[in-house]
Amino acid sequence: DVKVTQSSRYLVKRTGEKVFLECVQDMDHENMFWYRQDPGLGLRLIYFSYDVKMKEKGDIPEGYSVSREKKERFSLILESASTNQTSMYLCASSLQGIGNNEQFFGPGTRLTVL
Amino acid sequence: AQSVTQLGSHVSVSEGALVLLRCNYSSSVPPYLFWYVQYPNQGLQLLLKYTSAATLVKGINGFEAEFKKSETSFHLTKPSAHMSDAAEYFCAVSERGKLIFGQGTELSVKP
């Protein structure tokens, strides 16, 4: 079974702190994704990566950056956390293909910024 | 750009009743469509996917969905709801390897 793990289930940070969210997948997937989930808005794509050291902006990249130094690890960075970044963050991975490959999700990190 | 609309943010059914969760998509090309389920405090899990092989797709836990091109719909159904089906359900369409999600529908099951 594919396993996608995220470094923390719950995280509380203060405004202005630099925050790192880590995601690791164990199935040699090329694609990795970061989403944020908010009630009534579904999942919105922040950043994604098709390969090591490659990254593409999603729909809401402002205030975030990412790093992919190794194939299995994709990090989301909040350079200076703000209260409006309080949310559930979900990481996912998938094989490359023509779009019919499912994404496998981690359990999520619920981040609260005070 | 493609998009997905889920009609009804909350659906409530009685145990044993039919479950119908609605999803409409917009796409200029034949789409790949997905239904995911999210149980409380968990990530998303794939229920089923449509990849043009058959219009009626069967998934896990007794769910199925029918692709109707003329209606641009991909509604999710289950003949008989179980208490364990209470969760949030997301419809999604694939666009160049990315998923575009609907807003989600929370399903409640009453005893």
Q: Which residues of chain B have pLDDT under 70?
A: none
Cβ(A32)–Cβ(A91) below 8 Å: yes
Give the pLDDT confidence score for residue A62 in this predicted structure.
96
In the three-class reduction of DSSP (H, G, I as helix; E, B as strand; rest coil), residue A99 is classed as coil
What pLDDT score was predicted for residue B31? 82
Answer for the pair A2, A105: CB distance below 8 angstroms, yes or no: no
| Average pLDDT of chain B to the nearest whole number | 92
B2 at interface of A, judged by CB pairs closer than 8 A: no
CB contact under 8 A, A108 and B42: yes
Mean pLDDT of chain A: 93
Nearest by CB to residue B43, choosing from A42, A58, A106, is: A106
Reported as a single tens digit per residue, the pLDDT across A21-71 is 999 999 999 999 999 999 888 899 999 999 998 999 999 999 999 999 999
pLDDT surpassing 70 at residue A2: no
> Hey, what are A8's tokens?
């923390």
Contact residues on chain B for A97, CB-CB shorter than 8 A: 97
pLDDT in tens, B36-51: 999 988 899 999 999 8
Placement of tokens 């389920």 in the chain:
B37
Q: Provide the strand spans (E) within B16-102.
A: 19-26, 33-38, 44-50, 56-58, 64-68, 73-78, 87-95, 98-101
Most A-contacting residue of B21, B57, B98, B100 (CB-CB within 10 A), to test interface: B98
Spatial neighbors of A12 by CB under 8 A, at least 6 apart, are: A111, A112, A113, A114
